[in-house]
């Protein structure tokens, strides 16, 4: 049996004006478990708190009920008071007789009556309270960033700047992501390489940052502050520590005809290659699918020309397991494949290209050295047609496209149209759009410049069909404003392909128990208030993996994610919330109902041995809650049909007791 | 409960999630927006903590109406708790209706921490609706009465 003390606060006249506090403390003194009851002008004042402390000592109290303002005001205060007098802070309950009683009721009789009932409910609850201790877990002061695009780069730099070590795992041979492939960037038209490559160098030179390029995460265990992550370093057949990046091998390798993925297949590379001149790390990689030596043991040219002796044909995939306190997902996006969009003749004509291919064509380091030339015949195109929203905002074509707006295409199409007209004033440029969406800072001005200064023809309407005829592309389209059909003989058609999350994101989300939306974008812990955290504690989101984003937004989110990580890594210990779910193993049937509803993946299963009444033992699967991960929502307790799962601090019996006290 | 029905006041149990609706109720208090004292609030971490058994128990013990308040859809502090609440309560309330606890006696309402006015208005309306229905006699266990 508890020994409960009741403390009724007057709150000046805030409470005492409507509630007869004397009557309340008298009535509550008669409740079961109560050994002391009093009232005082300001319970939260030093004098008020001393009354509580003295009563705890004098009456050997084990539980406290304070009838006062909202627990959102002073629950923490009274918990501290109790703790300083030697009783567990979770043995304190508040009856809210100000905000939810005296302030909303005018009549003293009903106010007093209700205050007594609220006090009774709190007493009934405290009678069933148990001391709770929040768990403490140490924090590994190292962060992992998965994905080395601009998002991952910025996050890593910011975390390293605060003094914490960071590892970047990038699946490609170099970091840089999509931004490394871009030419100039809206809305300021600075060249992507000029602003990105210095950051890549910073990453390479930062002592706190390690780059695992050509690597993937294959396993994740543990929880916030204590993740164990297995990283697979794919064999690149070149020793990273020895290769100087001179590129001699990439000039001598006889295997020349391999489509160069960095230029989206618009030119070729060798079997041993460095993706681009500013790659980080600047190390060669052998493509095992095309290397003669690796396929049939005949060649070895690169090892002969490599003066550093970096080539190692016997290299194997390596696996290493590292510990991290926090994980940032920055796996970015990709344009969707265009092969299902036959109406635009993408697979029929080389002169129908995607916007990312267009970036490479305009890029001085691209396949044409920055000259805008038709991929089919190398001629200069005069009439260009840009098609926006290819596969975006496509409710009717969900099987090949996406329902959402890809957000960046309106702006980069305006950029492409403007750059084309700027470089080649002899061109006619048409842009077909559903809407032009330009809600960023200086974005609308940018788009208007394309129309007003550069004379780009913007036509509201959809392109119905593109048919290659001779060396022309016949474009059939509708103009929705003038309500007429249009035919254009184009030389180059550029498709603004919808963007989607990287294909590796879903298996990664499963490993991390981080949730995703139906489009495979990672979901945030709260769409408004926690936009850079995933619902899984310790897992953060950066960049386009969370939703379509341009570079300014990506960098802002990357910094925000970094600051959340820094906030976490600054702590030596994580203090948990002790009000977590807890299963009664004797009652649990191992049915998985609770696991399915937990938004945080806090519930797992273990096989446990139980002693049976006949002295035999039986192994049963039972639920187990990871207290560092559980946030205490209580959803699982309701899903549990066996009544095995309960929530500490809000136990079923406690809530029943409150209901009973109110309905008495 | 008084014998003559003229002073009849319903007994209403309100489950409020800690993050939105309980704070909304506090805001109603801060703004002195009155509603009947018939409403007694029980604080739960999330609306999804409300077990149907709590509601059955309330009716059994003589409650005349039960209302569950949570964050607006999409705003649950735990992201998805209120979606479970919505589905669970839709089922429970139609079953209760079948048992004779009229649908008007049960309600799920989304009240944000900024909606003090909505909280007070909701409670005024709910009390009026339940009062009009009169006492809940269908599920009340008279053995529980003192
Ligand atoms: C045609 C085009 C033009 C654009 N023009 C502009 C512009 O002018 N201005 C502007 O602001 N924005 C522009 N953007 C948008 C810009 O590219 C993005 O905002 C930016 O690249 C997002 O960065 P990110 O790091 O989130 O993703 P990404 O650049 O996609 O980087 C993700 C990285 O993660 C790696 N990765 C993926 N999965 C894994 C995994 N499982 N394990 C390890 N690594 C992984 C990838 O290899 C990649 O390196 C343009 C986009 C396109 C398509
Ligand atoms: S061994 Fe392979 S990578 Fe090296 S030169 Fe020969 S084909 Fe090229
Ligand atoms: S209380 Fe919520 S967070 Fe904790 S285990 Fe249950 S469902 Fe998961
Ligand atoms: S729902 Fe209940 S019985 Fe089923 S696994 Fe979870 S705790 Fe065990
Ligand atoms: S926290 Fe308010 S409904 Fe879940």
**CA B98 to ligand 4 center in whole angstroms:** 29
- How distant is the Cα of B43 from the closest Cα of chain A, in angstroms? 9
**pLDDT tens for residues A596-614?**
999 888 999 999 998 888 8
On whether any CB of chain A is under 8 Å from the CB of B1, the answer is no
Whole-angstrom distance, CA of residue A662 vs CA of residue A569:
45
Does residue B124 come out as left (phi exceeding 0), alpha (psi in the -120 to 50 range) or beta?
alpha
| Residue-range domains of chain A with CATH | 4-126 (3.40.50), 143-327+510-556 (3.50.50.60), 333-500 (3.50.50.60), 581-648 (3.30.70.3270)
Ligand nearest to the CA of A631: 3
Pocket of ligand 2 contains residue A217 by CB under 6 Å: no
**CA B16 to ligand 5 center in whole angstroms:** 8
Tell whether the model's pLDDT for residue A376 goes beyond 60: yes
* Mean pLDDT, chain A, integer: 95
Residue A625 pLDDT level (bands cut at 50, 70, 90) = very high
Query: Across residues A393-419, what is the average pLDDT?
Result: 92
Residues in A touching B28 (Cβ below 8 Å): 99, 104
Whole-angstrom distance, CA of residue A658 vs CA of residue A122:
7
Q: Find out whether B26 and A99 touch, Cβ atoms under 8 Å.
A: yes
**CA A316 to ligand 1 center in whole angstroms:** 29
Whole-angstrom distance, CA of residue A534 vs CA of residue A536:
5
Residues in B touching A100 (Cβ below 8 Å): 25-26, 29, 41
- Enumerate the H helices of B14-139 as residue ranges: 21-30, 52-60, 81-99, 116-133
**For ligand 1, atom 2, which residue shows the shortest CA distance?**
A356
Beta bridge partners of A500: A334
Closest CA to B25 of B44, B48, B50, B11: B44
pLDDT for position A304: 96
pLDDT for position B143: 65
SS3 assignment, position A560 = helix
- How distant is the Cα of B120 from the closest Cα of chain A, in angstroms? 9
Tell whether the model's pLDDT for residue B112 goes beyond 80: yes
A546 DSSP 8-state letter: S
B139 vs A264 pLDDT, higher one:
A264
pLDDT for position B144: 60
Q: Tokens in use for A48?
A: 């008020």
pLDDT for position B142: 64
- For CA atoms A46, A52, A56, A58, the dihedral sign is positive
Nearest CA in chain A to B10: A663
Pocket of ligand 5 contains residue B82 by CB under 6 Å: yes
**pLDDT tens for residues A545-570?**
999 999 999 999 999 999 999 999 99
Among the atoms of ligand 2, which is closest to the Cα of residue A305? 5
Tell whether the model's pLDDT for residue B18 goes beyond 60: yes
**CA B25 to ligand 4 center in whole angstroms:** 33
pLDDT for position B2: 39
- For CA atoms A440, A446, A452, A454, the dihedral sign is negative
**CA A81 to ligand 3 center in whole angstroms:** 29
Residues in A touching B120 (Cβ below 8 Å): 104
* Residue A487: CB atoms within 10 Å: 8
Question: How does strand A499-501 pair with strand A333-335?
Answer: antiparallel
Ligand nearest to the CA of A182: 1
Query: Across residues A349-377, what is the average pLDDT?
Result: 96
Nearest CA in chain A to B82: A635
**pLDDT tens for residues A134-148?**
988 899 999 999 999
> Which residues lie below 8 Å from residue A328, measured CB to CB, with a gap of 6+?
A143, A144, A145, A146, A152, A155, A539, A540, A541, A542, A561, A562, A565
Report chain A's C-alpha Rg in angstroms: 33
Tell whether the model's pLDDT for residue B1 goes beyond 80: no
* Mean pLDDT, chain B, integer: 90
Burial of B19 per CB tally in 10 Å (0-12, 13-18, 19+): buried
Query: Across residues A348-374, what is the average pLDDT?
Result: 96
Share of chain A above pLDDT 70, in %: 100
**How far does chain A reach from its first CA to its final CA, in angstroms?**
21
Q: Tokens in use for A235?
A: 């064999």
Closest CA to A385 of A458, A284, A280: A458
Label each residue of A294-311 as H, E or C.
HHHCCCCHHHHHCCCCCE
Share of chain A above pLDDT 90, in %: 90
- For CA atoms A162, A166, A168, A174, the dihedral sign is positive
**pLDDT tens for residues A191-222?**
999 999 999 999 999 999 999 999 999 999 88
Among the atoms of ligand 5, which is closest to the Cα of residue B82? 3
Nearest CA in chain B to A639: B51
Domain boundaries, chain B: 8-134
Tell whether the model's pLDDT for residue A291 goes beyond 50: yes
**CA A256 to ligand 2 center in whole angstroms:** 10
Interface contact A527-B30, CB threshold 8 A: no
A352 vs A527 pLDDT, higher one:
A352
φ and ψ at B98, to 5 degrees?
-65, -35
Where does B8-134 sit in CATH, by number?
Answer: 3.40.50
To test the contact with chain A by mutation, choose from B78, B86, B127, B139 the residue with the greatest count of A C-beta atoms within 10 A, namely B78
Nearest CA in chain B to A98: B29
pLDDT for position A452: 97
A343 DSSP 8-state letter: G
pLDDT for position B136: 86
Q: Tokens in use for A526?
A: 């709260």
Residues in B touching A523 (Cβ below 8 Å): 79
On whether any CB of chain A is under 8 Å from the CB of B118, the answer is no
Whole-angstrom distance, CA of residue B6 vs CA of residue A264:
82
Interface contact B48-A638, CB threshold 8 A: yes
Tell whether the model's pLDDT for residue B3 goes beyond 60: no
Q: Tokens in use for A286?
A: 């052998």
Q: Tokens in use for A388?
A: 């926006």
DSSP A607-653: EEEEE-TTS-EEEEEEEEE-TTT-----HHHHH-TTS-EEETTS-HH
Q: Which residue among A107, A633, A664 sits closest to B46, beta carbon to beta carbon?
A: A633
Instruction: For residue A494, give Cα distances in angstroms to A306, A333, A489, A562.
Output: 41, 19, 14, 36
Tell whether the model's pLDDT for residue A518 goes beyond 90: no
Pocket of ligand 4 contains residue A623 by CB under 6 Å: yes
Please state whether the peptide bond connecting residue A367 to the residue before it is cis, i.e. omega within 30 degrees of 0: no
Q: Find out whether A533 and A525 touch, Cβ atoms under 8 Å.
A: yes
Nearest CA in chain B to A120: B40
């Amino acid at each position: 049996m508890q020994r409960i003390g009741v403390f009724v606060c007057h709150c000046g006249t805030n409470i005492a004006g409507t509630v007869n506090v004397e009557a309340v403390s008298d009535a509550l003194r008669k409740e079961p478990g109560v050994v002391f009851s009093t009232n005082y002008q300001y319970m939260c004042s030093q004098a008020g708190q001393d009354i509580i402390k003295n009563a705890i000592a004098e009456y050997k109290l084990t539980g406290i009920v304070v009838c006062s303002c909202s627990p959102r005001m002073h629950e923490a205060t009274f918990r501290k008071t109790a703790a300083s007098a030697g009783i567990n802070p979770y043995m304190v309950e508040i009856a809210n007789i100000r905000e939810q009683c005296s302030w909303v009721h005018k009549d003293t009789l009903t106010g007093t009556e209700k205050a007594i009932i609220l006090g009774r409910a709190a007493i009934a609850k405290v009678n069933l309270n148990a001391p709770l201790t929040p768990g403490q877990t140490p924090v590994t002061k190292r962060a992992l960033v998965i994905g080395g695009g601009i998002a991952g780069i910025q996050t890593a730099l910011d975390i390293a700047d605060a003094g914490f070590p960071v590892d970047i795992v990038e699946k490609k041979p170099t970091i840089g992501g999509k931004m490394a492939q871009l030419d100039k960037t809206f809305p300021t038209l600075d060249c992507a390489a000029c602003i990105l490559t210095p950051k890549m160098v910073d990453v390479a030179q930062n002592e706190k940052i390690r780059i695992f390029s050509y690597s993937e995460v294959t396993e994740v265990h543990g929880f916030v502050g204590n993740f164990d992550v297995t990283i697979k370093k794919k064999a690149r057949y070149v020793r990273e520590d020895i290769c100087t990046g001179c590129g001699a091998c990439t000039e001598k390798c006889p295997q020349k005809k391999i489509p160069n993925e960095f230029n989206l297949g618009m030119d070729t590379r060798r079997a041993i290659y460095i993706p681009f001149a500013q790659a980080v790390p600047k190390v060669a990689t052998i493509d095992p699918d095309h290397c003669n030596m690796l396929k049939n043991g005949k060649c070895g040219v690169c090892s002969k020309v490599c003066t550093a002796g970096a080539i190692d044909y016997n290299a194997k995939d390596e696996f290493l397991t590292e510990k991290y306190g926090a994980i940032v997902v920055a796996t970015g996006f990709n344009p969707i494949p265009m092969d299902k969009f036959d109406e635009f003749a993408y697979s029929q004509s080389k002169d129908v290209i995607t916007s990312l291919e267009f970036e490479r064509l305009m890029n001085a380091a691209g396949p044409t050295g920055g000259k805008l030339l038709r991929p089919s015949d190398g001629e200069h195109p005069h009439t260009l047609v840009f098609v926006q929203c290819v596969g975006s905002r496509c409710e009717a074509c969900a099987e090949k496209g996406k329902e959402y707006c890809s957000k960046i295409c309106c702006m980069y199409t305006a950029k492409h149209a403007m750059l084309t007209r700027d470089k080649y004033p002899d061109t006619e440029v048409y842009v077909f759009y559903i809407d032009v969406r330009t809600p960023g800072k200086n974005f609308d001005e940018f788009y208007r410049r394309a129309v007003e200064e550069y004379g780009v023809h913007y036509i509201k309407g959809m392109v119905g069909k593109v048919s290659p005829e001779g060396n022309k592309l016949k474009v059939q389209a509708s103009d929705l404003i003038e309500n007429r059909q249009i035919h254009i003989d184009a030389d180059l058609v550029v498709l603004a392909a919808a963007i989607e999350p990287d294909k590796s994101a879903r298996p990664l989300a499963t490993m991390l128990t981080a949730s995703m939306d139906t489009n495979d974008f990672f979901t945030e812990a709260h769409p408004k208030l926690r936009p850079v955290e995933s619902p899984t504690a310790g897992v953060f989101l950066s960049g386009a993996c969370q939703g379509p984003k341009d570079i300014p937004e990506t960098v802002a989110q990357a910094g925000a994610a970094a600051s959340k990580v820094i906030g976490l890594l600054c702590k030596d210990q994580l203090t948990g919330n002790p009000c977590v779910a807890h299963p009664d193993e004797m009652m649990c049937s191992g049915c998985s109902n609770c696991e399915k509803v937990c938004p945080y993946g806090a519930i797992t299963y273990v096989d446990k041995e139980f002693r049976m009444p006949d002295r035999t033992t039986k192994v049963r699967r039972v639920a187990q809650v990871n207290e560092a991960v559980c946030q205490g929502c209580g959803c699982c307790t309701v899903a549990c049909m066996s009544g095995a799962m309960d929530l500490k601090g809000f136990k079923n019996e406690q809530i029943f007791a409150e209901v009973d006290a109110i309905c008495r | 409960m008084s014998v003559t029905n003229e002073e009849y006041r319903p007994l209403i149990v309100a489950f409020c999630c800690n993050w939105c609706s309980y704070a909304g109720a506090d805001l109603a208090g801060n703004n002195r927006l009155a509603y009947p004292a018939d409403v007694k609030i029980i604080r739960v971490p999330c609306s999804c903590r409300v077990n149907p058994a709590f509601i059955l128990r309330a009716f059994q013990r003589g409650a005349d109406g039960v209302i569950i308040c949570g964050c607006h859809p999409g705003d649950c502090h735990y992201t998805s708790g209120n979606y479970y609440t919505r589905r669970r309560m839709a089922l429970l309330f139609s079953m209760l209706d079948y048992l004779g606890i009229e649908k008007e006696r049960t309600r799920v309402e989304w009240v944000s921490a900024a909606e003090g006015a909505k909280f007070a208005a909701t409670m005024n309306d709910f009390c009026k609706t339940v009062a009009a229905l009169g006492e809940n006699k269908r599920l009340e266990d008279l053995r529980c009465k003192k």
